[in-house]
Structure 1
Amino acid sequence: MASLPNRKIAAAVVREDAAHRQRLLDRAFALAFKGLVYAQIWEDPVVDMEALAIAPGHRVATIASGGCNVFSYLTDDPAEIVAVDLNTAHVALNNLKRVAILHLPDYAHFRRFFADADDAANIADYRTFVAPHLDETSRRYWEGRDLVGRRRINGFARGLYKRGLLGGFIGLAHLVARLHRIDLGEFLAAKTVEEQRAIFDSKFAPFFDRKLIRWITDQRSSLFGLGIPPAQYDALADGKPMADVLRARLEKLACDFPLDDNYFAWQAFGRGYGKGVAAPLPPYLQEVNYAAVKARAERVTMLHANMTDMLAASDAASFDRYVFLDAQDWMSDAQLAALWAEVTRTARAGARVLFRTAAEPSLLPGRLPDALLDRWEYRAEESRDYTRRDRSAIYGGVHLYTLKAD
């Protein structure tokens, strides 16, 4: 019998009304998703914070994932952030980050732990400063062993961002590229956006025309490593060959933003953040924000829960901002209606909802009951602008809805 966490994930991703083969794929994804998926999440927090316009006094409800955005939102001084996740590894990672922010001695230790995340000194820091303050469940997770027998906490000594489902997927992509005599790390030597474009056009773009790559990417299970379940695969493909879709998304990542301002490109092509004081980092890891993030870290409430269930247990008119990442791509119409019923009930005046989709358009029209959708205004022009400027580049759409005045 599946464990409780596995049942929660399965309930979120398995389409029980789908054909047998689709259900099998969904269950395979649920199994893959039970461990650490994202050591770093792939939603741009700078775009998020501009869209959300978080202000002092606001309460934020968000899906946690790897926690980069959760702790980055603290720089905007909300009263509380309630972060939820169905994945126990993500819950443990967020709890680790919160305790480390509060108890590591200074910014240098914090940066080494989470920005470099590849130094044996981090393990000593964990034992001395972090472990004594960590909750028992999270401590048991980090001091336990993964499927190949490695202590999970040792990831911070050997390169955390090379671990997890996504880290493994990126590593496999580097290996396949090397087998085709392509060095993805070469991209990081580019000095200008023009050089980035030249490398992409000459080295990376032709890779997606190879027959083997096109066949592999046509398999729905091929993108499990990106955290993309079969239902979201179909939305991402939108009737096109997946190799062409991935080439277009990689082109945006590689060519639309300068390397010195895009840590997502460093993760993709270098398997970690860049070294040195000038390397681009998420807001919560930047030295200029360290004091504020440390002073406000206790405002993060981390729950192992479903977003709809958490909101259902909350008071009416109790939240100002909602962040769903791309979770709605996984949902049935009934699940969408249940979620938005609770969002509408718990929303305060002026509330904002931000989410991403694999495909370009918002998924709500035609799927959400009119009585719910009519309570919200879609900010179409702003959403297109946020999509264009989202440095992670992997999503088709970034969407902002605001609660209409009564």
Structure 2
Amino acid sequence: MADIAQEAGFGKNQKLRQALLQHKALSRQGISERLFGLLFSGLVYPQIWEDPDVDMSAMELAEGHSIVTIASGGCNMLAYLSRSPKKIDVVDLNPHHVALNRLKLAAFRHLPSHADVVRHFGTADARSNSKSFDMFIAPHLDQRTRGYWERRSLSGRRRIEAFDRNIYKTGLLGRFIGAGHLIARLHGIDLTEMAKAKSLREQRQFFESHVAPLFDKPLIRWITARKSSLFGLGIPPQQYDELASLAADGSIAPVLRQRLEKLACHFPLRENYFAWQAFARRYPSPQEGNLPTYLRAENYKSIRANTERVTVHHASFTELLAQKSAASVDRYVLLDAQDWMTDEQLNGLWTEITRTASVGARVIFRTAAEKSVLTGRLSPALLDQWTYLEERSRALTLQDRSAIYGGFHIYTKTA
């Protein structure tokens, strides 16, 4: 069986290439797409950056629901299990994310206790994590996933040893956040000082006095004027163009400032683990704040009991739905994947969503810009079968603690 790492290269990952490439190789857009694809072919998201509490509220998630969701870092899929859905199909074109999701599921099934799960996924510098992997998790993994985590780098370290240090400093997103901290330090700002704020007022003061002025610096404006600067956030060229369309001068620096201001100032720090990862590069201690939903003690037993209800697929959303029977899915979670799609891909996806959707099914997704990506692009024959919950979507956009998206959207299947 081929090693999963060999599939990860962009040149060999035909599914990822088909999803990303829309222009000729030697065109400016084509070069940009291929550079993004090269970066995106490795581990991108050690943590997912969509708020699962907003997701579950929007879906009105309950027992008996059948869900199809994109994997990413896997945190949201595990959070959904706390509501005891009937089944979750998890899809991703990135085999690194597939391996991470399978690891997280096995950890919940086989680590001895909740404390062990928190130590593995919620604590930095826990040197025993790779030993716990060897003892409790590895024997239960499929050959491909185990081979992925035991594979050694040029330094001789196994991949699993990233959990001995800080997994959230790895991956494309982790390195991007690290680069942001480095640039801030070059301007005399230590972003980790945000963690000392004790109130929303202090969070606002730190942002206004230390963070906001950075976006007026020539270096940062120069960097953010280039599409490749945001590849580390997992933002492809198409999404960059959407963000740039929001600014009068085409610079996305003001847009990024606005999104970071929401992350830093709109929610109490102790309730926003996304802000902890952005500013402190770790999760809070129990005295400092709350862990992600899937790591909280009150959700542990139900998540552990329901892990067998999840199947992880290395496939596209449309590809998986094409294998399902009509009216068999209740909830769909698309993250921001539609921002990448051509009109043809978008209509192909929604053809399968509409065919497989049960009466009253819900689709949720996020967009870089504020408006729904379906407007003016999806065939009226498809769109007319769905109702857009605009007011509820707008309210939940404001509640999304990750703060990096312009819009959150809910569509429900018309009876």
Structure 1 length normalisation: TM-score?
Answer: 0.97
Partner of 1:22: 29
Supply the distance in 1 between the matched residues of 2:306 and 2:179 (Cα, whole angstroms).
Answer: 38
Q: How far 1:279 moved relative to its partner?
A: 2.8
Whole-Å Cα distance in 2 between the matches of residues 205 and 148 of structure 1? 38
Matched length: 405
1:53-94: per-residue Cα shift (whole Å, max 9, x none)?
A: 111111000001000000000111100000000000000000
- Show the 5 A alignment for 1:350-365: 350-365=360-375
Task: Choose which of 41, 56, 75 in structure 1 pairs with 2:82.
Answer: 75
TM superposition shift of 1:150: 3.9
Per the alignment, residue 148 of structure 2 pairs with 141
Does the CA-based 8 Å contact 2:54-2:399 persist in structure 1?
yes
- Tell me, in whole angstroms, the C-alpha distance in 2 between the residues paired with 1:181 and 1:295: 48
TM-score (norm 2): 0.95
Q: CA RMSD in A?
A: 1.5
- Of 362, 377, 384, the residue aligned with 1:374 is 384
Q: Which runs of 5+ in 2 are unaligned?
A: 1-6
1:320-339 equivalences in 2 (<5 Å)? 320-339=330-349
Partner of 1:176, secondary structure, is helix
Q: Distance in 1 between matches of 2:304 and 2:80?
A: 12
Distance 1:177 1:4, change over 3 A: closer
1:211 match: 218
Amino acid of the structure 2 residue aligned with 1:252: K
* Residues 1:220 and 2:197 aligned together: no
**Which deviates further from its counterpart, 200-209 or 108-117?**
108-117
Q: Which residue of 2 aligns with 1:284?
A: 294
> For residues 154 and 348 of structure 2, what CA distance do their matches in structure 1 show?
36
Letter aligned with residue 124 of structure 1: K
- 1:308 counterpart letter in structure 2: T
Q: State the match for 2:318 in structure 1.
A: 308
Aligned partner of 1:345 in structure 2 is: 355
Q: Report 1:219-298 matches (<5 A).
A: 219-240=226-247, 241-276=251-286, 279-298=289-308
Partner of 2:3: none
Aligned partners of 2:65 and 2:86 also within 8 Å: yes
Q: State the match for 1:48 in structure 2.
A: 55
Give the secondary structure class of the aligned counterpart of 2:378: coil
Q: Do structure 1's residue 122 and structure 2's residue 132 form an aligned pair?
A: no
* Structure 1 pair 154–103 and aligned structure 2 pair: CA distance change class (3 A): same
Segment drifting more, 158-167 vs 274-283: 274-283
Partner AA of 1:273 in structure 2 = Y
| Aligned counterparts, 1:75-114, within 5 A | 75-114=82-121
Contact kept, 8 Å, 1:323 with 1:353, in 2: the verdict is: yes
Q: Which residue matches 1:194? A: 201
Deviations 1:22-70 (A, max 9, x none): 0111011111011110000100000000000111111000001000000
- Cα deviation code 1:378-399 (max 9, x no counterpart): 0000000010000000000000
Superposed CA offset, 1:157-187 (max 9, x none):
0100000000000011111111110000000
Match of 1:161 among 168, 185, 193: 168
Letter in 2 for 1:182: I
SS in 1 for 2:13: helix
Out of 376, 379, 385, the position equivalent to 2:395 is 385
Q: 1:218 to 1:4 in 2, by over 3 A?
A: closer
Contiguous gaps of at least 5 residues in structure 1: none
User: Residues of 1 paired with 2:297 and 2:200: CA distance?
Assistant: 26
Contact 2:270 2:284 in 1 (8 A): no
Deviation (angstroms), 1:376: 0.4
Following the alignment from structure 1 to structure 2, what is the Cα–Cα distance between the partners of residues 277 and 342? Answer: 46
CA distance in 2, matches of 1:52, 1:19: 42
Aligned partners of 1:3 and 1:163: how far apart in 2?
19
